[in-house]
Chains A and B, each alone.
Chain A
């Protein structure tokens, strides 16, 4: 028992002598990290419905826009018609709950199978002439700022052979990044007004 104590002591000594002060052979530091998903309306990029008819959030999980029979009246309106441009102002609200300014844009699939489904895009407030596709415009959101986002659906370019009664689902990819947009991209504020700092390239 005492011999073992002695050997252990010598071990410590040898290590200390060989390594010198301040050098370490190995360290393993275990730390607590809390990583969790929040409800959609409480996340870093918070999104919540304004127009409850079109926008629902599946019990606060993920927002979804539905342009179907719920929008029109029971007998006739069951979705956007062909060769038309529809605007739906202020469908949902997006809030920057992060720590830095972000630029909001979205990217849509523009085809369904091999069909061209026309133009679709998000816009801020009522600025429907600047779609937030990251190429023509983006919205700048400071921490705490919210923007009300609408949707433009233009069926002018839809293939006339396209089945008028077809229902299709597709995803919009929303991006909020602190990277400055390229020159020539219009930067709008959360009310849809152009920033006048020259970034817009106007």
Chain B
């Protein structure tokens, strides 16, 4: 409600600025207007990211995290209580193996427009890491026939109000224990009408 008020008053400012330009010269005007920016936790953002349970349903207490395997200290996914951001942990992969972690987290479009979504993965630590060892898929997709979300040629369109769960597939052939794999995941959503130049 407050947000709508702020935008309406800004709209009024456009009109009055236009009028001022036409009728007289002025050197400068400085007009302060209120802009409300309300940063939300990942679970409530326009592009919402939520930990889910083994069935792919959002969990009640995201800060407490989703399921934790015995091999790990931390849950697969949780919302960091300090930053409000989703953290992911898959820290006990077998060597020389293909591991699938289904239902890692959920992406929801809580905005009001249709967006194209793709993922970008990278390793920012020392060395090159092994970003190719990890891929992310929509839960309903088949890794054998469908392209991963992190394939730059693959974007999926998500209508407002819709969501999908994300599976992780790791292939650790040729990766040495102790080598980094990835440490950063960027989720990109762009309005479908904007093209792919964002």
| Residue among B10, B17, B187, B198 facing the most chain A CB atoms (10 A cut-off) | B10
Task: Please report the C-alpha to C-alpha distance between residue A33 and residue B170 in the assembled complex, in whole angstroms.
Answer: 13
CB distance from B173 to the nearest CB of A (A): 11
CB-based contact A17/B14 at 8 Å: yes
CA distance A20 to B97 in the complex (A): 48
Minimum distance in angstroms from A12 CB to a CB of chain B: 7
Query: B71–A97 contact, CB under 8 A?
Result: yes
Q: Is the CB of B92 within 8 A of A42?
A: yes
Interface size class of B (residues with CB under 8 A): 35 or more
Q: Which residue of B is nearest A16, CB measured?
A: B7
Contact of B94 with A33 in the complex, beta carbons under 8 Å: no
User: Nearest Cβ in chain B — how far from A184, in angstroms?
Assistant: 25
Shortest distance from the beta carbon of B122 to any chain A beta carbon, whole Å: 9
In the complex the two chains form, is B71's CB within 8 Å of A98's CB? yes
Q: Contact: A22 with B111, CB < 8 Å?
A: yes
A17-B14, A24-B191, A26-B191 are contacts. A35–B111 as well, Cβ < 8 Å?
no
- Contact A35 B182, CB 8 Å, known A3-B28, A16-B10: yes
List chain A residues, Cβ under 8 A from B133: 35
Number of A-B residue pairs at CB separation under 8 A: 190
| Chain B residues with CB under 8 A of A28 | 186-189
Q: Which residues of A contact B99 (CB under 8 A)?
A: 44
Q: At the interface, yes or no: B35 with Cβ under 8 Å from chain A?
A: yes
* Given A31-B49, A37-B177: A99 and B86 interface contact (C-beta under 8 Å): no
Q: Which residues of A contact B13 (CB under 8 A)?
A: 9, 13
Check A21–B3 contact: CB distance below 8 A: yes
- Give chain A residues whose Cβ lies under 8 Å from the Cβ of B191: 23-26
In the complex, how many angstroms separate the beta carbon of A175 from the nearest chain B beta carbon? 9
Residues on A with C-beta less than 8 A from B167 are none
List B residues 159-198 near A (Cβ within 8 Å). Answer: 168, 170, 172, 175-191, 194, 198
Q: How far is the CB of B93 from chain A (nearest CB, A)?
A: 5
CB-CB contacts below 8 Å: A124-150 with B: 143-144
Report 15 cross-chain contacts, Cβ distance below 8 Å, ordered by A residue.
Answer: A10-B14, A10-B17, A16-B7, A21-B3, A21-B7, A24-B111, A26-B198, A28-B187, A29-B85, A33-B87, A34-B91, A38-B91, A43-B71, A96-B70, A99-B69
Name A residues whose Cβ lies closer than 8 Å to a Cβ of B.
2-3, 5-6, 9-10, 12-14, 16-17, 19-40, 42-47, 61-62, 96-100, 143-144
Q: Which residues of B contact A (CB under 8 A)?
A: 3-4, 7, 10-11, 13-14, 17, 28-31, 33, 35, 42, 45-47, 49, 54, 67-71, 74, 76, 85-97, 99, 111-113, 115, 121, 133-134, 168, 170, 172, 175-191, 194, 198
Complex A-B, nearest 9 residue pairs according to Cβ-Cβ distance, in ascending order: A97-B71, A26-B198, A38-B92, A33-B88, A2-B28, A97-B70, A22-B112, A43-B94, A13-B10
